[in-house]
Structures are given as structure tokens and as C-alpha cells.
Amino acid sequence: MDRIAITGGAQLNGVIPVSGAKNSAIKLMAASLLTDEPLRLTNMPRLADTRFLGKLLTRLGVSVTESDGPDGQQTILHAPEITSGFAPYDLVRQMRASFNVLGPLVARSGQAKVSLPGGCTIGARPVDLHLQALEALGAKIDLHEGYVYAQAPRGLKGAEIVFPIVSVGATEHAMLAAVLADGVTVIRNAACEPELVDLQECLNAMGAKVEGAGTPTVTITGVARLKGATHSVIPDRIEMGTYAVAAAMAGGEVRLTNARPELIESLSVKLEEAGATVVRTEDGVIVKRNGSRLNAVDIETAPFPGFATDLQAQFMALMTTANGESHIRETIFENRFMHAPELMRLGADISVHGGEARVRGVAQLEGAEVMATDLRASVSLVIAGLVARGETVVSRIYHLDRGFERLEEKLGACGAQVRRIKGDGEPEL
């Protein structure tokens, strides 16, 4: 398998264009199941996860065409008919979000058989809320031999859905199903992440009637059918935040473009508190650090607009060389400090107690061989490698390829000494 090697010590100076958001793109792709007309998605990232979902959608009857259009990278998805309502384990297990084809399949064709997604390395992420939402909409749900059998032969019906806890995936799934339900659906205690607003805008462009996304209450008035549309995927706030942290870590000046600064405001505030300079621009941010040592800063993850759990590992890497002691509290996922032992192989001083990590900044990290454990953990090791003395080699980087488009190219264009070491082939996921 491939590895990435980073030689530390180079500052970052230059421009990094931010790609479309992975976490939004994969839900927008699933929306193509809701119409027999083409859905054109622009500002599309080219990632392992979008390829995985494209393969599954193709099996279900969707033609998936990637190209470079007048608006940049685009994907056209067209499902004139659903040729199969079966999503097998060998495809669903490769990416949890592919489970979200269940709702659109039931909404359009009245039935589906979709594999449960299986375990997750960053903690339990059960789909019970997804299933409760579909049952509230009138679907009959049966679980058998690791598969969900869902039926609504007379169509889904509008309902009130009250989530006991906030769930981004379950909120998105309920929205995808309810747009074709008969009547009005009200989702309460809905997630408020920007990706929900992006999904609402896409569905409405397709003829749906959705309002309230980005607030705790989403209201959906079902329609009989949806049409094709063109929609631009929202910029990836996690990629944007990751490169902002990388710039603060390595020093120099990096301009992040094709992005929206308000999407990472909670991170920007913490970067400024640590001593970096963050300039908000019309299409992104500029992050500067003059080489002076950063100060330790405490963070606590929270749903948007709080500090994103998907930026926690990157910020921990930043704190490994900060002056003082920082405390990082993870409130979203359990078992999401698996990057800590790998950062410690680079010389970081980290201790983990339950959902909190204490990081004592050290003067210098040392390059070593480390192993990625999940998507965000893997990029935290790359960030640490930017300042570690000598060479850091990160293995199992198929995690990186799931969520970061052309990472070596983007960092390399700003002066980072980073290269991919080709292996004998990618592992089966």
C-alpha cells in the first residue's frame, strides 16, 4: 500500500484551493435516486468515498459520469429507473454514509434491502435513529442477517420526527426520505451543520419543499416527484480547517480560496488565541505565523457552530509543539484519540483520560514511522510531520485518500517537502 513521506522544517507559503465538501457530496449523490432526471453536481471532489458511492449507485441503476465542466469538476447522475433496491454488504461496508441510499430507495420505489454498515473505528455510530425516522414516515422495517428490509408499498407519509440526540446523518436521511412523502414532515432536534443547508438547497432546486435546514426544526412538504437540477457542492470546511492548521503549524503565509470563512469561525478563533494571524477574505482565509512559538489553547468539540470533531486530531497535532499545556475534550465520538499514540511516536507528550486529552507542548518533534487509524487522524500525522526533525513516514494512507483531494500536490505547491511512496496496491477496505 502507498505511504506518504514528509521531511519537516519547510514553511508553507502560497495558495491552496479548497475542494467541494466530501460530507455533503455523498449525500447529494444519494439524492439522485429520487428523480428520473439527471442531477448535475459541480465543485465535486474526486475522492475514494465518492467513488465508493458511485459504484453502489451504479448497481442500483444510476449512471455516474465524471467530467471537467464549465464550472470545474462535475458529476452527472441519472437514474431513469431503479433497477435494483439491493445494497450489499461488500459495498456498504466501505463507507458508512452509503447506508443513506435506504431512504431514497424506499421513497421512490417503495422497498429496499440495504446492508447495515458495520463497525466504526472511531466509536459506535448506530443507525437506530435513521430507522426510527423511516418508521415514523410509515416504512415497515425488518432486520435480518445484517440487512435492513424496508417497505412502504403505498408510499411514505408525512410525520413528526423528534430525535432524542442530534445526528447529522439521521437528519440528512430523514430529509432525503421525506421529500417524496405524502403530507408534511417536521424534524425536531435536527442537526444544524452547513451540509444540511447544502442538501436543502439541492433538494429545493430539484422541486422539493424544504425549509429550516441549519436550525433545530426542519419542515418538509412532500411532493409527488422531483426533477433534475444543477447544484454546486458547498466548500469543504474540514479541508479548509485542516490546511489552516497546517499553515499555523509550519509557519509562513497560506491563502485558502474557494471557501467560506464563516464555516471555520470556531477554529479561526482558537488559532488566533494560540498566536496565529487569521484574515477573513471574501472567498476564504489567509493564515500567517511568523515562526514564533504558539501558545497552548484548550478546545472542546461540539456540533456546528462549535469546534468540529473532524478538526480535533489536527488541532491536537498543532498543540504538540505549543508553549504550555492544552486540554482537548471530545464530546461527539468516543474512542477518537487513536492518533495520540502515533503522535507520541513523534515525541509528543500526550496523556488521555476518557474523553479528554492533555497535551504538553514540546520544543521539537522527531520524524518516525507512524500509522494512520482513520481519516482525520491520518492528516494530523502529516501536519505533525511538517515540523518534525527529519522524515516522517505515514502508512495506511488510504484513509487520507477517502477525504483529501490531491493533498501532496496542494501542500507541495506551498513548499512542503511531501511525497507519496507507491506500494504494491491498495488494501481491501
Angle at CA of residue 398, ends 397 and 400, nearest 5°? 65
Beta strands in 182-265 (DSSP E): 184-188, 209-211, 217-221, 229-232, 252-257
123: pLDDT strictly greater than 80: no
CATH class for domain 235-396? Answer: alpha beta
pLDDT at position 122 over 50 = no
Residue 423 has pLDDT above 80, yes or no: yes
Reported as a single tens digit per residue, the pLDDT across 374-418 is 877 899 999 999 999 999 999 999 889 888 999 999 999 999 999
Fill in the amino acid letter for 90: D
pLDDT, tens digit (0-9, with 9 covering 90-100), for 216-254: 999 999 999 999 999 999 999 999 999 999 999 999 999
Which pLDDT score, from 0 to 100, does residue 428 have? 39
Domain with CATH 3.65.10.10 in the chain: 26-232, 235-396
Amino acid at residue number 173 = H
Query: How much is the pLDDT for 424?
Result: 66
Instruction: Give the pLDDT of residue 334.
Output: 74
Q: How many CB atoms lie within 10 A of CB 165?
A: 8
pTM reported for the whole predicted model: 0.94
First to last CA, the chain: 12
356 bridge partner residues: 329, 353
The binding site for UDP-N-acetyl-alpha-D-glucosamine comprises 96, 125-129, 310, 332
Worst-scoring range by mean pLDDT, 132-136, 395-399, 410-414, 422-426?
Answer: 422-426
Mean pLDDT of 188-194: 97
Q: How many CA atoms lie within 13 A of 108 on its CB side?
A: 26
CA 182 and chain centroid, separation? 31
Instruction: Tell me the C-alpha distance between 101 and 109, whole Å.
Output: 12
Q: Residue 232 is placed in which grid cell?
A: 454546486
For domain 26-232, give the fold.
UDP-n-acetylglucosamine1-carboxyvinyl-transferase; Chain (3.65.10)
Burial label, 15 (beta-carbon count in 10 A; 0-12, 13-18, 19+): middle
Q: Is the pLDDT of residue 291 over 90?
A: no
Residue 236 to residue 222: CA distance in whole angstroms: 29
Distance CA 101, CA 111 (A): 11
CA angle 271, 277, 282 (to 5 degrees): 100
Residue 219 phi, psi dihedral angles, 5° rounding: -115, 130
Element (H, E) at 131: helix 128-136
Stretch 244-267: mean pLDDT:
97
Query: Does 331 have pLDDT greater than 60?
Result: yes
293 Cβ contact partners less than 8 Å away, ≥ 6 residues apart = 275, 321, 322, 323, 361
Element (H, E) at 15: strand 12-17
120 among known catalytic residues: yes
- pLDDT at residue 126 greater than cutoff 80: no
